[in-house]
Structure 1
Amino acid sequence: MNPVVEQVTARIRERSRQGRADYLAAMAQTREENPPKKRLSCGNLAHGYAACGEQDKQTIRLMNSANLGIVTSYNDMLSAHQPLLDYPEQIKAVAREVGSSAQVAGGVPAMCDGVTQGQPGMELSLFSRDVVAMATAVGLSHNLFDGVLCLGVCDKIVPGMIIGALQFGHLPTVFVPAGPMPSGIPNKEKAAVRQRFAEGKASREELLEAESASYHSPGTCTFYGTANSNQVLMEMLGVQLPGSSFVNPEDPMRAALTRESVLKVIAAADPASGIRPLCETVTEESLVNAVVALLATGGSTNHTLHLVAIAAAAGIDLRWQDFDDLSRAVPLLARVYPNGEADINAFQRAGGMAFLVRELRSAGLLNENVHSLMGEGLDSFELAPQLTDDGRIAWQHNVLESRLPEVLTGVAEPFDQEGGLRVLQGNLGESVIKVSAVKPEHRVVSAPCRIFHAQDDIKTAFDAGELDRDVIAVVRFQGPKANGMPELHKLTPYLGLLQDRGYQVALVTDGRMSGASGKVPAAIHLSPEAVDQGPISRLRDGDLITLDAEQGILNVNLSDQELAQREPATAPRDTQNLGRNLFANFRQAVGGASSGASSLDP
């Protein structure tokens, strides 16, 4: 086993010892004191199955088979979740075939970062993760369920669902995805139109045509952002069936995989099956495996928040330094936009998760002592699903080499010797940076800064020609306490154009970038944030900042004394539009970015 992976796993296990023990004890107590259905009164049960058909009523009341709780994020505005409309009926039909039952336990909100990008609604996005977690818990609180199926795909929804489900970790849980939409126009072509629009060289109609040709049908967006990173992580955590992530919604295999998911969780509901419940599936080892896969594929920076919060919900203390240390030991094996020109469908054609796991495993980069709905160990993670003539799933070891080596490569010939995420530290605090999409010549930037308090102000400065120089854009008061930590992906075309013009350009912010963070170096999630009077609040226009992603440094060229003596800037006036005022308590309760930016106390 790779010594870095072994050491990081061991130290996480050691510092999590008490928290993990407390969590597992709580799950054991729940199982003992509140076993599913068994302690419900007749009135409780009657309410719980009143709307069911006679067959399901009889099945539930006998209490000798599994009743599954479905938590769904279906809506028909969000392309990734629109295919979930018919999943509950599919699940119920499969459950009935084997003498079990299923009910929709509840729905969770599912907002789209693509729709709210650059809009006021984005200030609700990160907190929607915690709302999803609570909504998941509300649905499962009826204690009618022997197993859980989570129907979710996108950015905050999947992390929120698993955080909520971990409060019911005594139950087996499976995530059932819907898959990506078929490929549209190449992502590089779309990005080029965005940059031309930023320059005033493309019309709004041309831009809308390009965007519509990219995001064009039901299914997940095809770039490798947070949504598709979610899928990789759920497979690596053992709560999503191997190879199920990137099958298109209309592929006949999609329904067969959903069927297989139902059968697996029903089997796991029987204690005699030996399949572990969720609390024993999400472990220190499986979380490290998830981080390794994230790094090896150049995944979303948002998971430096989400994985930390997921770990905390399971009593595990995962830290940014763990990401950084693992990143220096894990090679980059995938080139999917924004880390390359291909999309996630190409990743799947190349060999997908089965090939990725096989390569990482061959290099000793994965913990072997893990559990999943498929059983013990990692052998099943290398299996690829195949559709049989009778419409069922057969699991096969048939991905022996990459079919598209320019998209997915082996550990012998990686695209980079290191993974895609690093931690930056210095007198400005601690932040993370995604370097897998940043060319080596752009990874070290030293330039005067320009201060902004809103991303729209960068467009104004850009249009006025005020940024045609070496510059580090500092966008502050974008942290979780200030305004919910919105993504700042809207900045990418403008900063990218400046970089293309030959300037040294970077971004420093206490906010987030999209999972589609691209070619411009961006020190994000900076902590402490400006609203807490972190050093970023004391910066002024013209201060010389050095961002060195190679050495892990983020410094302003000021003495500690001079920086401390400056008056911190005042936060801009609080806005109260598009429902933001309802989240005031979240902003007051939220923790820092390095601790997962969570308002919950699991």
Structure 2
Amino acid sequence: MDRSSALHPTVDQVTARIRERSKERRKLYEAHMAAQHKQGVHRGELSCGNLAHGFAGCDHAGDKDRLKLTNSANLGIVSSYNDMLSAHRPFEDYPAVIKEAARGMGSTAQFAGGVPAMCDGVTQGMPGMELSLFSREVIAMATAVALSHNMFDAALYLGICDKIVPGLFIGAARFGHLPAVFVPGGPMPSGLPNDEKARVRQLYAEGKAGREELLEAESRSYHSPGTCTFYGTANSNQLMMEMMGLHLPGASFVNPGTPLREALTRYAAEQAVRNTEQSGNYRPFYRQIDERAIVNAMVGLLASGGSTNHTLHLVAMAAAAGITIDWNDFTALSAVVPSLTRIYPNGSADVNHFQAAGGMSLLIRELLGAGLLHGDIPTVFGTDLTAYTQEPFLDDGKLVWREGPEESLDRDVLRPVDDPFAPTGGLVVLDGNLGRGVIKISAVKQAHRRVEAPVRIFDDQSQVKAAFESGELDRDVVVVVRFQGPKANGMPELHKLTPFLGVLQDRGYRVALVTDGRMSGASGKVPAAIHVTPEAVDRGPLARLRDGDVVRLDAERGELTALIDAAEFAGRSAIEPNLERYHFGMGRELFGGFRHLAASAERGAGVFGGFEAEVLSRELEKIEQEDQ
């Protein structure tokens, strides 16, 4: 049954311009992937010595026998497992489940390699956070190393959190000749309500709650294996993977440690086998993910008020698949995509409440019905996206899919397109003489979306805390935290500032944040112009601001302007910072090359310049000559 309507004109137009803009880049990508596929099953090309090394570690005799043959599939498992971080802890048991499922299909699976997984929740405000953004590139490269042995016919990617899924996606895109299935871990059960956690944080910032009370609240919020339940980057990742058809239908928000979660993991392995060339139903990543899938991810992000981090990550992810998107695409889509969810920090509910209200099946049903998604994209499930209006269930222990609800079970959490929380998406691009940036407005009340006030400038987030505690910020103020971009210090999240700025706003002051750094994927109630580019270290306009300058941030009109005479502003010299304190200690010296190579925020803040336009013509010419 076709549940989609005619494509919305704006979605159609944005998709068409992305396709045209990406034409040469995408042609090169597809040519590279076709060339990799043309080499065939690499396991069959290995010498006896190479192949023997490839299965010497198998502790299952049947696996060795199957790996000697090329007519059986071998799945590569790439995992972000570690047992320190709650979101990655559930992945410990997945390889055994996957291997058993593969054997049941007459195939094999091997743990190809692990990728690092760090948690911004642990590193917030600490030096380690300055490694966070570039861990995405490390994860992509680690994925490439894991798959470099050429033993695999498909890959399963086990990841969930902030930089992990984007990094895995980039790695998967460069091994795009392999079928790919992304396998989530699921959110932890609900703990302390998110609004209560936020209340205790603000009390602590004001000195009205002690550290013991704060730690107790945080521990009751983050209390067991699984993803954090607020709607930040980790859960935005899961939504986008499902919107692109890289998850099984309904897999994103099933709790870990449940029979249904294990059944979905088992089925993911079986489906990966079905998608291999050996099965006769070859479904590689590069034929599945195109500009339509990327637009679906953007629409899902906007409709759900998802993480601002994906204005960086999704740009880099698309680039790895030969697709060029920019912030103007987000803006155009945001104007026609309604806000359909209220999940903390955009509301008080968490992702478990969203799942119970109708979850992904209802959200996709609504967006398809409004013509806001491409329903015709190929998916790992072996169908188009219209099958993703179904939900998984266990029927006498057997995994089945049934149609999900047609109406929301809680309209305070999830609404239909004809009765949205807001008529437009939760993301706005800001532009003006201070550069370009983005702001997430889904959690910002309309009364706070326009702020015009003198600036107070900081070059480090720790200075903001000190100024708050001394009372220096008790006024209408635009807090500017600069030299926080990818080239300056790796672009750490500045989420530690949220409680202080929230207190000032609650005291009745008009407050905003402007920074070339990032906020958390859980950006909250204070208007924050983030990812401002060009960044200050590149002598961007933020480096020419002075204390007391008046800045206007208008999220309704998309404006970010310093109210300074143009000639005077242009004539000012840029501040030259001393950034050495950001570049050494806690391993930061190892990332100097990444800081040097980093692209701008609007280009994804990535370091993989090999995809850029200047190399396209000669690469295409070379490939065409080899084909002749």
Tell me the TM-score normalised to structure 1 length: 0.99
Give yes or no for the alignment of 1:578 onto 2:586. Answer: yes
Q: Deviations over 1:350-379 (max 9, x none)?
A: 111000000001111011220101224222
What is the 5 A alignment of 1:391-470? 391-470=397-476
1:80 CA displacement: 0.3
- Residue 117 of structure 2 aligns to a residue in which SS? coil
- Residue 68 of structure 2 aligns to a residue in which SS? helix
- Residue 392 of structure 2 aligns to a residue in which SS? strand
Give yes or no for the alignment of 1:251 onto 2:258. Answer: yes
Residue 240 of structure 2 corresponds to which residue in structure 1?
233
Amino acid at match of 1:375: G
Q: How far apart in 2 are the matches of 1:273 and 1:544?
A: 64
Q: Which of 7, 12, 15 matches 1:9?
A: 15
Q: Extract unaligned runs of 5+ from structure 2.
A: 1-6, 612-628
- The answer to which of 433-442 and 36-45 deviates more is 36-45
Q: How far apart in 2 are the matches of 1:466 and 1:128?
A: 36
Q: Which of 557, 582, 588 matches 2:596?
A: 588
Residue 209 of structure 1 corresponds to which residue in structure 2?
216
Q: Which of 318, 340, 347 matches 1:340?
A: 347
Q: Deviations over 1:83-121 (max 9, x none)?
A: 100110110011111110000110000001000011110
- For the 8 Å contact 1:275–1:375, the answer to whether it is kept is no
Give yes or no for the alignment of 1:351 onto 2:339. Answer: no
Give yes or no for the alignment of 1:563 onto 2:569. Answer: yes
Q: Which of 282, 287, 302 matches 2:289?
A: 282
Q: Which of 174, 188, 200 matches 1:167?
A: 174
- For the 8 Å contact 2:448–2:527, the answer to whether it is kept is yes
1:380 CA displacement: 1.2
Q: Deviations over 1:444-482 (max 9, x none)?
A: 110000000111111100011000000000000000000
Residue 482 of structure 1 corresponds to which residue in structure 2?
488
Q: Deviations over 1:235-261 (max 9, x none)?
A: 111111111011111221000000110
What is the 5 A alignment of 1:37-56? 37-52=43-58, 53-56=60-63
Amino acid at match of 1:47: H
Q: How far apart in 2 are the matches of 1:495 and 1:399?
A: 40
- For the 8 Å contact 1:275–1:372, the answer to whether it is kept is no
Q: How many residues align?
A: 601
Residue 119 of structure 1 corresponds to which residue in structure 2?
126
1:273 CA displacement: 4.4
Q: How far apart in 2 are the matches of 1:377 and 1:348?
A: 22
What is the 5 A alignment of 1:23-62? 23-33=29-39, 35-52=41-58, 53-62=60-69
1:559 CA displacement: 2.7
Q: Which of 492, 497, 500 matches 2:498?
A: 492
- For the 8 Å contact 2:41–2:70, the answer to whether it is kept is no
Give yes or no for the alignment of 1:550 onto 2:581. Answer: no
Q: Which of 514, 521, 524 matches 1:518?
A: 524
- The answer to which of 360-369 and 424-433 deviates more is 360-369
Q: How far apart in 2 are the matches of 1:85 and 1:559?
A: 59
Residue 621 of structure 2 corresponds to which residue in structure 1?
none
- For the 8 Å contact 2:362–2:404, the answer to whether it is kept is no
What is the 5 A alignment of 1:306-317? 306-317=313-324
Q: How far apart in 2 are the matches of 1:247 and 1:564?
A: 54
Residue 527 of structure 1 corresponds to which residue in structure 2?
533
Amino acid at match of 2:585: N
- For the 8 Å contact 2:134–2:594, the answer to whether it is kept is yes
- Identity percentage over the alignment? 62
Give yes or no for the alignment of 1:187 onto 2:191. Answer: no
Q: Deviations over 1:202-230 (max 9, x none)?
A: 00000000000000000000000000000
- For the 8 Å contact 2:461–2:494, the answer to whether it is kept is yes
Q: How far apart in 2 are the matches of 1:79 and 1:240?
A: 21
- The answer to which of 377-386 and 172-181 deviates more is 377-386
Q: How far apart in 1 are the matches of 2:81 and 2:302?
A: 30
What is the 5 A alignment of 1:241-390? 241-270=248-277, 273-274=280-281, 276-389=283-396
Residue 70 of structure 2 corresponds to which residue in structure 1?
63
1:400 CA displacement: 1.4
- The answer to which of 567-576 and 121-130 deviates more is 567-576
1:561 CA displacement: 1.9
Residue 156 of structure 1 corresponds to which residue in structure 2?
163
Q: How far apart in 2 are the matches of 1:48 and 1:106?
A: 13
- Residue 580 of structure 2 aligns to a residue in which SS? coil
Residue 600 of structure 1 corresponds to which residue in structure 2?
608
Tell me the TM-score normalised to structure 2 length: 0.95
Q: How far apart in 1 are the matches of 2:313 and 2:338?
A: 22
1:35 CA displacement: 3.2
- For the 8 Å contact 1:453–1:572, the answer to whether it is kept is no
Shift in CA distance, 275/61, structure 1 to aligned 2, threshold 3 Å:
closer
- For the 8 Å contact 2:489–2:579, the answer to whether it is kept is no
Q: Extract unaligned runs of 5+ from structure 1.
A: none
Q: How far apart in 2 are the matches of 1:572 and 1:206?
A: 38
Q: Deviations over 1:144-199 (max 9, x none)?
A: 00000011110000000010111110110001111000000100000000000000
Shift in CA distance, 272/88, structure 1 to aligned 2, threshold 3 Å:
closer
- For the 8 Å contact 1:150–1:161, the answer to whether it is kept is yes
Q: How far apart in 2 are the matches of 1:174 and 1:559?
A: 54
- Residue 338 of structure 2 aligns to a residue in which SS? coil
